Amino acid sequence: MLKNQNKFLLNKRLEILKLFKKTINKKGLSFDTIKILSNDYNINENEIHLLFPQGNSDIIKFTLDQLNNDLENYCKKLNLITLPLHKRIKKILLCKIFLMNKEKDFYRKIFLNILLPKKNFSISSQLYKSVNKIWIIAGDTSTDFNYYTKRLILAGIYTRVILFFFNNNDHEKLEEIIDINLKRVAKIPELKLKMKLFKKNFPNILKIIKNFN
């Protein structure tokens, strides 16, 4: 019963999202978007607010979550595991660009909107969700210091790539930017090794310091 209810609610939210995209493409995104959507498509505004209590913020969060889910489903069709780590990440990033490019104007408007500070919305939280999903798709299972290093490095790369994508149509240059930046991802195993060596030798370093005191 609960499963059916959840599926029903998901389908209703997806229906609203579809109309939300049409509204944004035609009239842009504003404080009145929910009201405009309600009037244009004869949907009770209260019903929309029941599905998305925080209005635009909730719909944008749902939009980005669905994009991450679509990316995961799309990448399942690819044989990513045979690729080196940095090439896996590159492939996933290009897949996300491919998916967003189908509705580039819509996602550009969403991206510009989330840059504005607002209540009930965290850019850092959404960025974390995106890079975390990319690492999960890439097969990352780390739980130690390396876990945070990977996501911090990728957050910077992802932001640069997205900014370039929304402001340019040069796919070749986009790949070049990804390749240059992903050299840092390729170095993550080195960082991990250095951290292990540091942990291993830390007691000895402390002894040396004590001997100098």
Rg (CA), the chain: 22
In this prediction, the residues of the chain whose per-residue pLDDT falls under 50 are 190-191, 193-195, 197-213
Could you tell me the residue ranges of all domains in the chain? 84-212
pLDDT for position 101:
96
pLDDT for position 123:
83
pLDDT for position 190:
47
pLDDT for position 182:
83
Q: What is the pTM of this model?
A: 0.82
Alpha-carbon distances of 94 from 46, 98, 147, 150, 195, rounded to whole Å:
39, 6, 22, 18, 31
Instruction: Give the orientation angle of helix 85-101 with respect to helix 56-75, to 10 degrees.
Output: 130
User: Which amino acid is residue 143, in one-letter code?
Assistant: T
pLDDT for position 84:
87
pLDDT digits (tens, 9 = 90+) for 40-73: 999 999 999 999 999 998 999 999 999 999 999 9
* Total Cβ atoms within 10 A of residue 139: 10
pLDDT for position 44:
93
pLDDT for position 195:
42
Four-residue CA torsion sign, 87, 88, 94, 97: negative
DSSP string covering 170-194: -HHHHHHHHHHHTHHHHTHHHHHHH
Alpha-carbon span 22 to 63, nearest angstrom: 13
CB 106 within 8 A of CB 21: yes
DSSP string covering 94-109: HHHHHHHHTTHHHHHH
